[in-house]
């Protein structure tokens, strides 16, 4: 099972929304994944346990060495299918 981290500025509204949407889409596709929402300040301490990072805010200064996707399509709906296809490829 892959661990997916979603981070936004506060870890409350935006990242929770995106994480819930990704978790629901994974469930609908029969994909097992653990999706967690965090605030950007916590990202550095949890990124080592993640397989995939979904970014909503810029992460300048952080050296992220795992695959990173944009969370914006999951928030707006524009380009969501393409971004979810990328996520599925990373999971498989």
Between CA 75 and CA 35, with CA 17 as vertex, the angle to 5 degrees is 105
3 CB burial (10 A radius; 0-12, 13-18, 19+): middle
Helix axes 14-28 and 80-91, enclosed angle (nearest 10) = 70
Check residue 57 and give its pLDDT.
Answer: 81
Domain that holds residue 85: 2-91
Check residue 12 and give its pLDDT.
Answer: 67
Domain with residue 34: its CATH number is 3.40.50.2300
How many domains, the chain?
1
**What pLDDT tens digit does each residue of the chain (92 aa) get?**
899 999 887 666 888 999 999 999 999 999 999 999 998 888 888 888 999 999 988 777 777 889 999 999 999 999 999 999 999 999 88
Residue with tokens 């506060």: 10
Check residue 63 and give its pLDDT.
Answer: 79
Provide CB contacts within 8 A for 17, sequence distance 6+.
75
Check residue 44 and give its pLDDT.
Answer: 84
Check residue 62 and give its pLDDT.
Answer: 75
């Amino acid at each position: 099972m892959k661990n997916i981290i979603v981070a936004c500025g506060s870890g409350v509204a935006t990242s929770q929304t995106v994480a819930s949407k990704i978790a629901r889409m994974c469930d609908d596709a029969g994909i097992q994944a653990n999706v967690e929402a965090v605030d950007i300040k916590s990202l550095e301490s949890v990124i080592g346990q993640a397989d995939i990072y979904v970014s909503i805010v810029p992460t300048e200064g952080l050296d992220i060495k795992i695959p990173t996707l944009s969370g914006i399509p999951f928030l707006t709906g524009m380009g969501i299918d393409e971004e979810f296809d990328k996520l599925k490829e990373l999971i498989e």
